Amino acid sequence: MPLKPPHCDTQVLHADDALRHDSALSPPITYAATFAAADAAEFAAMAGQPQHARYYTRYGNPLHERVARVVADLEGAESGLCFASGMGAISAAVLSHVRAGDHVVAQSSHYMGTSKLLTELLPRLGVQVSQVDLTDTAAVLAAVRSNTRLVHLETPVNPTLALCDIAAICAGAKARAPSVVVSVDNTFASPINQRPLSLGADIVLHSATKYLGGHHDLTAGVLLSSAERCRVIWGDAITLGATLSPMDAWLLLRGLRTLAVRVRQINANAMAVATFLQDHPGVERVFYPGLPSHPQHALACQQMTGFGGVIAVWLRSDYAGTAAFVARLKLFTQAVSLGGVDSLAVHAAAMWAGTLNDEQMRQANVQPNAVRLSIGLEAAPDLCADLAQALDGSAN
């Protein structure tokens, strides 16, 4: 009888067992730029073999292979690739699929680097991009044309944790343009909470800098897809050159071992914090997909099995009051990024002030009183107490 696919708690520890090549329980860090070949024939075979882990590290490294295997199993993918950053993964996925004259459908809100790639870099290369409200499935599908090559999704997404309906968009887009490819940035959810390939997506991407690594100590990206699509993307990725270092691959693999237990605890902590904030008089609005008050809570329950650690909050305050609130927090560190063991807080308007002007901020729906929290692994009552003291201070 075939074994059931293992639970994600087991996958994070054993998905790469077949790639264990010696008796060391923790894998050696293969700090090699190049690898020996037995003879000319082996050499030629290695160079042409996708993601070969023992040819030249820009082409692949034994630790890339193990990281990719673990995340591919979690996402239900045939294959995976590692990158030096999330943007490295996203750039390779997008650039390997488009050519001049093609069209891409994107969301009106994306991670900042993704927005720049799609709306600034692609048009320079002769690729047209339509940006649509991700919450409006009909509008997303109406934007798909005969020359649409790629639909790029990101859910949940900044700044208010809006969701898109992955299954409806995948089915609808493919009905309109059968050769269209749907990629999903699954960074905010993590594969523990959401598995876009099972909902019909072709490519899943992660900034492994966030939940997958989980300790705020590395920068990495992972891409999951069919073996054939990974081979094609890899062909361009080795030219683009966003190679994950062996050390960061090792840290990432170590982080992955605890991914499932970390994400489950973070889900629980975030739910407790979101509920606390929603009931606090100093808070105007809380955006968290797990709260029934989230405009798309029903969709969240349908396509997610947990709701992650990112919460957006609008305070009953102005720019200065919100800045003062963030400054009063003691357990939350004022820092960008998300998905790690430490809780972080950012005053959204202050974070974007260097990159967006007032008009762009209005367009991006960034309110002066908005704070983004990334909930970590501190005890939820301690996090709530910290938020309470910082909110009560704002009354003064």
Ligand X SMILES: *Cc1c(COP(=O)(O)O)cnc(C)c1O
State the minimum distance, in angstroms, from the CB of residue 152 to ligand X. Answer: 11
Look up residue 319 and give its two tokens.
């720019």
Cis peptide before 156 (omega within 30 of 0): yes
Amino acid residing at 94: V
Contact between 369 and 321 under an 8 Å Cβ cutoff? The reply is yes
How many residues bind to ligand X according to rule CB under 6 A?
15
- Closer Cβ to ligand X, 276 or 287, answer by number: 287
Span interacting with ligand X, options 66-74, 121-129, 185-193, 379-387, rule CB under 6 A: 185-193
Q: Indicate the burial class of 231 (C-beta count within 10 angstroms; 0-12, 13-18, 19 or more).
A: middle
Span interacting with ligand X, options 58-66, 168-176, 180-188, 267-275, rule CB under 6 A: 180-188
- Closer Cβ to ligand X, 87 or 323, answer by number: 87
- Closer Cβ to ligand X, 170 or 189, answer by number: 189
CA gap 344, 13 in Å, rounded: 28
State the minimum distance, in angstroms, from the CB of residue 238 to ligand X. Answer: 18
| Residues with catalytic roles | 58, 111, 185, 210
State the minimum distance, in angstroms, from the CB of residue 222 to ligand X. Answer: 10
CB atoms within 10 A of CB 130: 18
Contact between 248 and ligand X (CB under 6 A)? Answer: no
Contact between 152 and ligand X (CB under 6 A)? Answer: no
Cross-sheet strand order for the sheet of 181-185:
79-83, 221-225, 203-207, 181-185, 148-154, 103-107, 128-132
One of 185, 202, 248, 386 touching ligand X (CB under 6 A): 185
One of 188, 250, 307, 352 touching ligand X (CB under 6 A): 188
β-strands 181-185, 203-207 pairing = parallel
Residue 368 Ramachandran class (φ > 0 left, ψ -120 to 50 alpha, else beta)? alpha
State the minimum distance, in angstroms, from the CB of residue 86 to ligand X. Answer: 2
Exposure string for 185-204, b = 16+ CB within 10 A, e = fewer: bbbbbbbbbbbbbebbbbbb
State the minimum distance, in angstroms, from the CB of residue 55 to ligand X. Answer: 25
Residue 211 Cα distances to 46, 75, 92, 267, 361, angstroms? 33, 14, 21, 12, 27
Footprint of ligand X on 65-124 (CB under 6 A): 85-87, 111, 113-114
- Closer Cβ to ligand X, 76 or 113, answer by number: 113
- Closer Cβ to ligand X, 65 or 154, answer by number: 154
One of 73, 154, 165, 386 touching ligand X (CB under 6 A): 154
Footprint of ligand X on 277-296 (CB under 6 A): none
Contact between 187 and ligand X (CB under 6 A)? Answer: yes
- Closer Cβ to ligand X, 131 or 275, answer by number: 131
Quick note: the x/- pattern for ligand X over 193-232, rule CB under 6 A, is: --------------x-xx--------x-x-----------
State the minimum distance, in angstroms, from the CB of residue 236 to ligand X. Answer: 17
Residue 340 Cα distances to 16, 209, 230, 256, 271, angstroms? 23, 9, 28, 12, 16
- Residue whose tokens read 């290695």: 46
- Closer Cβ to ligand X, 11 or 209, answer by number: 209
- Residue whose tokens read 């560190």: 333
Footprint of ligand X on 352-391 (CB under 6 A): none
CA gap 220, 90 in Å, rounded: 11
CA gap 92, 378 in Å, rounded: 36
State the minimum distance, in angstroms, from the CB of residue 205 to ligand X. Answer: 7
Q: Which residues bind ligand X (CB under 6 A)?
A: 85-87, 111, 113-114, 154, 185, 187-188, 207, 209-210, 219, 221
